[in-house]
Structure 1
Amino acid sequence: MDLVLRSATPEDLPALLRLEQQCFTSDRLTVRSFQWMISRAHGQLIVAEQTAQLLGYALVLFHRGTSLARLYSIATAVEARGLGLGKRLLERIESCAREHDCAYLRLEVRTDNPRAIALYERHGYRRFAVLQQYYEDRADALRLEKRIVQHRETRPIRVPYYPQTTDFTCGPACLLMAMGALQPARALQRREELQIWREATTVFMTSGHGGCSPQGLALAAWRRGFRVRLQVNTQGPLFLGGVRDEHKKDVMRLVHEEFCAELDASEVLQVLGGPLDLPALLADGGQPLVLISSYRLTRSKAPHWVMVTDCDEEFVYLHDPDVDHSQHRQAMDCQHLPVSHGEFAKMCRFGSGKLQAAVILYHPHPL
Structure 2
Amino acid sequence: MSTVFRPASVEDLPALLALEVQCFTTDRLTRRRFQWMINRAHGRLLVAEHDGQLLGYALVLFHRGTSLARLYSIAIATDARGTGLGKQLLQRIEACALEHDCAYLRLEVRTDNPAAIALYEGNGYRRFALVHDYYEDHADALRLEKRILQHRDSRSIKVPYYRQTTDFTCGPACLLMAMGALHPERLLERREELQIWREATTVFMTSGHGGCSPQGLALAAWRRGFQVSLQLSMAGPLFLDGVRDMHKKDVMRLVHEEFTAQLGETDVETLIAAPLDLPAMLDAGGQPLVLISSYRLTRSKSPHWVMVTDCDADFVYLHDPDVDHSQHRQPMDCQHVPVSHGEFEKMCRFGRGKLRAAVTLFSRNA
Question: In the alignment, is the contact (CA less than 8 A) between 2:206 and 2:302 conserved in 1?
Answer: no
Give the match for residue 202 of structure 2.
202
> Structure 2, unaligned stretches of length 5 or more?
none
Query: C-alpha displacement at 1:235, in angstroms?
Result: 1.3
Separation in structure 2 between the aligned mates of residue 154 and residue 322 of structure 1, nearest angstrom = 23
Query: What is the DSSP-based 3-state SS (H/G/I as helix, E as strand, rest coil) of the residue aligned with 2:351?
Result: coil
> Cα RMSD between the aligned structures?
0.8
Superposition pairs for residues 180-199 of structure 1, below 5 Å? 180-199=180-199
Question: In the alignment, is the contact (CA less than 8 A) between 1:9 and 1:38 conserved in 2?
Answer: yes
Query: C-alpha displacement at 1:236, in angstroms?
Result: 2.0
Query: What is the DSSP-based 3-state SS (H/G/I as helix, E as strand, rest coil) of the residue aligned with 2:225?
Result: coil
Spell out, residue by residue over 1:29-75, the C-alpha distance to the aligned partner (whole angstroms, 9 max, x if none).
Answer: 00000000000000000000000000000000000000000000000
> Structure 1, unaligned stretches of length 5 or more?
none
Query: C-alpha displacement at 1:296, in angstroms?
Result: 0.6
Give the match for residue 33 of structure 2.
33
Give the match for residue 345 of structure 1.
345
Give the match for residue 112 of structure 1.
112
TM-score using structure 1 length: 0.99
Give the match for residue 303 of structure 1.
303
Spell out, residue by residue over 1:94-123, the C-alpha distance to the aligned partner (whole angstroms, 9 max, x if none).
Answer: 000000000000000000000000000000
Alignment size in residue pairs: 366
Spell out, residue by residue over 1:150-182, the C-alpha distance to the aligned partner (whole angstroms, 9 max, x if none).
Answer: 133341000000010000000000000000000
Does the alignment pair 1:99 with 2:99? yes
Write the letter of the residue equivalent to 2:60. Answer: V
Superposition pairs for residues 1-367 of structure 1, below 5 Å? 2-365=2-365
Write the letter of the residue equivalent to 2:261. Answer: A
Query: What is the DSSP-based 3-state SS (H/G/I as helix, E as strand, rest coil) of the residue aligned with 2:56?
Result: strand
Question: In the alignment, is the contact (CA less than 8 A) between 2:94 and 2:105 conserved in 1?
Answer: yes
Query: What is the DSSP-based 3-state SS (H/G/I as helix, E as strand, rest coil) of the residue aligned with 1:48?
Result: strand
Query: What is the DSSP-based 3-state SS (H/G/I as helix, E as strand, rest coil) of the residue aligned with 1:64?
Result: coil
Question: In the alignment, is the contact (CA less than 8 A) between 1:105 and 1:145 conserved in 2?
Answer: yes
Query: C-alpha displacement at 1:352, in angstroms?
Result: 1.1
Separation in structure 1 between the aligned mates of residue 297 and residue 56 of structure 2, nearest angstrom = 31
Query: C-alpha displacement at 1:365, in angstroms?
Result: 4.1
Separation in structure 2 between the aligned mates of residue 32 and residue 52 of structure 1, nearest angstrom = 23
Identity %: 78
Write the letter of the residue equivalent to 2:124. Answer: G
Separation in structure 2 between the aligned mates of residue 10 and residue 331 of structure 1, nearest angstrom = 30
Query: C-alpha displacement at 1:208, in angstroms?
Result: 1.1
Question: In the alignment, is the contact (CA less than 8 A) between 1:227 and 1:365 conserved in 2?
Answer: no
Write the letter of the residue equivalent to 1:12. Answer: D
TM-score using structure 2 length: 0.99
Write the letter of the residue equivalent to 2:201. Answer: T
Separation in structure 1 between the aligned mates of residue 344 and residue 153 of structure 2, nearest angstrom = 19
Query: What is the DSSP-based 3-state SS (H/G/I as helix, E as strand, rest coil) of the residue aligned with 2:305?
Result: strand
Query: C-alpha displacement at 1:274, in angstroms?
Result: 1.5
Query: C-alpha displacement at 1:364, in angstroms?
Result: 2.0
Spell out, residue by residue over 1:270-295, the C-alpha distance to the aligned partner (whole angstroms, 9 max, x if none).
Answer: 10112100000000000000000011
Write the letter of the residue equivalent to 2:26. Answer: S
